[in-house]
Amino acid sequence: MADSEGVAFLRSDVARFCSDIADLAPAVRLARLAELRAMLDDVTSQAMAAAMADARGEGWGLRRIGKHAGVSHEQVRRMLVPAEAQPTTPR
Predicted model pTM: 0.74
Confidence of residue 3 (pLDDT cuts 50, 70, 90): confident
Q: Is residue 36 part of a domain?
A: yes
Nearest to 79 by CA among 39, 36, 50, 41: 50
Phi and psi, residue 72, nearest 5°? -75, 160
Q: Is residue 45 part of a domain?
A: yes
Which range of residues forms the domain containing residue 20? 5-85
Q: Is residue 12 part of a domain?
A: yes
Give the chain's domain count. 1
Q: Is residue 41 part of a domain?
A: yes
Percent of the chain clearing pLDDT 90 (strictly above): 84
Q: Is residue 90 part of a domain?
A: no
Distance CA 35, CA 41 (A): 10
Residue 20: exposure state from Cβ atoms within 10 A (0-12, 13-18, ≥19): exposed
Q: Is residue 25 part of a domain?
A: yes
Q: Report pLDDT for 90.
A: 52
Q: Is residue 37 part of a domain?
A: yes
Q: Is residue 91 part of a domain?
A: no
